Amino acid sequence: MKFLGMKKVRDGKYLKGYELAYLNKSGVEKTYEMVSFAELKNADELGKKINGISIVAFMDGKMLLLREFRMGVNRFVYNLCAGMLESGETIEECIARELYEETGLTLKRILRILPPSFAAVSISDVKNQIAFVEVSGELSDHTSPNEDIEPHFYTKEEMAELLECEELSTRAQLAGFCFTQNLI
């Protein structure tokens, strides 16, 4: 695979669309479409910036999931608490802010933050980190009018049931499965 160049084809409020030209293994020129939160000037900038956090939160032996309406699929899905880093914000500050905004909960303790990984590598250069945390407090709604989020804590048994009968994001499905198998 040989990279030939890239050009911006869409400049949205949050996402920018790019076309990447390359030669495939057979030497045929191809165009690949992708999106980024970043304003990219060249291919060296692809996948360099950490964009946000996904949070696997626990309290009293239960795991937090959000049932949230996602416009991209026009339905409610179960997801982890997550969000984008704001300018000048640390990962730790982002975790605490997103937990409060989406659930009303307080960050009690960070158990582990994994190194950055790609969130949707087939269509984007978005790079996130995954945090495992303990939280405290009472669930309450602090969301914007543009979000429809219902947070809830699940036991391992309840999580196993969700995994069989509900639609989840990939990251929530994987975290939920690991939780039910005592892997986290």
Strand partners of residue 35: 17, 124
Angle between helical axes of 156-165 and 170-180 (0-180°, round to 10)? 140
Averages of pLDDT over runs of 10 residues in the chain (184 residues) are 95 94 96 94 91 97 97 96 94 97 97 96 94 97 90 98 97 97 94
What stretch of H or E contains 93?
helix 91-103
pLDDT at 135: 98
Length of the chain in residues, anyone?
184
Strand partners of residue 64: 153
**Structural domains in the chain, sorted by start:** 2-45 (no CATH), 50-180 (3.90.79.10)
Q: How far apart are CA 87 and CA 125, in angstroms?
A: 18
Q: How far apart are CA 30 and CA 22, in angstroms?
A: 5
pLDDT at 143: 85
Q: How far apart are CA 12 and CA 35, in angstroms?
A: 10
Residues near 72 by beta carbon (within 8 Å), at least 6 away in sequence: none
116-129 as b/e: b if 16+ CB within 10 A: beebeeeebbbbbb
Q: By the 8 A CB rule, do 130 and 95 touch?
A: no
Among residues 35, 41, 46, the alpha carbon closest in space to that of 13 is found at: 35
Q: How far apart are CA 88 and CA 160, in angstroms?
A: 38
pLDDT at 144: 85
Q: Which two tokens stand for residue 133?
A: 């945390």
Q: How far apart are CA 173 and CA 163, in angstroms?
A: 7
pTM of the model: 0.91
